[in-house]
Structure 1
Amino acid sequence: MKKRVLITLAGLVTAATYFTYQAIFTLPESAQVTTITSSITPSHDLQPELACYQNPAPQVIDHNGQLNVLVWNIYKQNRPNWQRALEGFSQDKQLLLLQEASMTSQLREWIVQGRWSGHLVDAFKAFDTSAGVLNLAHQLPELACGYTEMEPWLRLPKSALYATYPLSNEQLLAVVNIHAVNFTYGTQEYHHQLERLAKVLKTHVGPIIVAGDFNSWSEQRLAVMKQVLASVGVTEVTYQRDHRKQFINGLPLDHLFYRGLTLEKAEAPISDASDHNPLEVYFRLLP
């Protein structure tokens, strides 16, 4: 009798978990990118594109040869001071690479006020609000393609965005913004996600930036990340002030790699507006 009750309770818990999951989360059938411009309104219904967006008339992204980048996991804007902090960190930046961005009406309003434009990869929707990686600049890219990789345990995708931007030195910058898979046994899914992006980057001629929350919380993951990205020919940034979020073993989770640019300065300051600290990286274009 007792065994039967326990089996029934387990079945009810499983069913409740399943229906709760279905009620909260909506998953796209494939990776999609949503184009966001400064003309959107908080009530505007954003429509995902196909896997890629193409811009027939892109404009240069740098400012007189200066390219300043912010990389930040903004924790779905769950902290009350996220807006003030994001405004401060983005003041002198030409490119924002955000992870765990939740496309709420408050974030849309912030984008409009700052005259930003860009793309969100719809990893999933939580209560009908899209969430994923988000690229923002004052110009739309030439190309933007979305990628997703399923978390094997949580069954929620992690997302990445590949985009290209014209530069004032007549080069084309390739940018990868990634939120890497986290809860896995081993590194198979982690390696697969990185290798898909590296394959695209290997065909690119010109400067490259690869950045985001790599969830590099083990030596094995760190080795995979460095091995895959070494094949692309990128160099990792080191920070004058390094307050990047660390796992309990001291390994940092957030990284930026680059190629074909001159690094001027890089810092990872402390902020209580997210569970991650931001990366601020300043580049000059090569002649």
Structure 2
Amino acid sequence: MYPRLAFALVFLIITAVVSFQVIFTVPEQPQIITQTGTNIKQDIRCMEFDKPQVLDKDGELNVLVWNIYKQNRDNWKQALDTLSVNKQLLLLQEASLTDDFKSWLVEGHWVSNQVSAFKALGSGAGVISIAQKEPILACAYTSKEPWLRLPKSALYSKYRLSNGETLAVVNIHAINFTVGTKEYTSQLSALERVLKEHKGPVLFAGDFNSWSEERVTAMKKALQKANLQEAKFSQDNRTQFITGLPLDHVFYRGLTLKNAKAPQSDASDHNPLLVSFTLSD
């Protein structure tokens, strides 16, 4: 009996490992994928652009922040069509670079930069920053989940603004499954250090997986070091954990917040965040 149990256990472990390797492909280094029209480029960690253009429109910057749940809901495209109207910047998390999603980018004349944290059945998955204009640069960051060993991702980008300044943008999907906050703080601190060196305005947003008071404290402590303040939502339907704590946040500096809303949506397991800023003179 015992040999049979041992054999069954070994068989299950081998099956799980093989299945994981078949489904998921994890690159050895952070990779970035850029799509401009039908042209797709891939590089390790960072990509610079020859023709960066002004991101804002007449001094206003409208942003969508949304965990899109790998486009698992049938109505994701219709919702994204509506939510992206009059937006200069889309910061999406859990985006899967499927053929359908690539087509949506082409049809909307978007320029996208995605961190390919891993591939699931051949489609790259990770955070993606989308705009009508090319950035100055975009750099990929990944941090592995201690238990699942699949990376969470963040994308650091820099955009030109019409007032002559340079906007630094961080789009993050934070580490989730940990005991304590060591790995969580490490991921945030690596990005905070980059932002401390940036002299211009900053936007830091995404799914922070801030489901405990300890995580909220670690998050705010790290981002306060970069002199960031948090956007307050007048219509606040941000997705909450069972603890009642919101998972998605927007932090900024050097910009004037006009409004921040989080309407309800059934197109993902997260509700979207709609944030508008004006530039400083």
TM-score by length of 2: 0.99
The answer on 1:33 being equivalent to 2:70 is no
How large is the RMSD of aligned CA atoms in angstroms?
0.8
Partner SS for 2:27: coil
The equivalent of 1:206 in structure 2 is 200
Task: Name segments (4+ residues, structure 1) moved above 2 Å.
Answer: none
Question: Of 52, 59, 71, which aligns to 1:65?
Answer: 59
Q: Distance in 2 between matches of 1:110 and 1:74?
A: 14
**C-alpha contact 1:244 1:279 (8 A) present in aligned 2:** yes
Of residues 146, 150, 155, the one that matches 1:156 is 150
Q: Is the 8 A contact 1:119 1:144 kept in 2?
A: yes
Alignment gaps of 5+ in structure 1? 41-45
1:121 aligns with 2:115: yes
Q: CA deviation at 1:92?
A: 1.3
State the match for 1:75 in structure 2: 69
Deviation by residue 1:119-154 (Cα, 9 ceiling, x = unmatched): 000000001110000000001110100000000111
Unaligned runs of 5+ in 2: none
After superposition, give the CA deviation of every residue in 1:192-225 in whole Å (9 maximum; x if it has no partner): 1000000100000010000000000111111000
Distance 1:13 1:47, change over 3 A: farther
Which whole-Å CA distance do the structure 1 matches of 2:38 and 2:14 have between them? 43
Please report how far the alpha carbon of residue 9 of structure 1 lies from its aligned counterpart in structure 2 after TM superposition. 1.1
SS at match of 2:236: coil
Identity %: 54
Deviation at 1:39, TM superposition (A): 3.0
State the Cα distance separating 1:8 from its structure 2 match.
Answer: 1.3
Aligned residues: 281
* Structure 1 residue 4: Cα displacement: 2.0
* Equivalent residue, structure 2, for 1:178: 172
The residue identity in structure 1 corresponding to 2:154 is A
Corresponding residue for residue 147 of structure 1: 141
Amino acid at match of 2:43: E
Superposition TM-score, scaled by structure 1 size: 0.97
> 1:47: Cα distance to partner?
4.4
Within 1, Cα distance between the matches of 2:192 and 2:185?
10
**Distance in structure 2 (CA, Å) of the matches to 1:98 and 1:228:** 22
Report the AA paired with residue 105 of structure 2: I
For residues 191 and 51 of structure 1, what CA distance do their matches in structure 2 show?
21
Q: What displacement does 1:6 show?
A: 1.5
Q: 1:112: which partner in 2?
A: 106
Retained in 1: the 8 A contact 2:37–2:110? yes
**By how many angstroms is 1:56 displaced?**
2.8
Which residue of structure 1 aligns with residue 230 of structure 2? 236
Tell me, yes or no, if the aligned pair for 2:52 and 2:159 is still in contact at 8 Å. Answer: yes
How far off its partner does 1:38 sit? 2.0
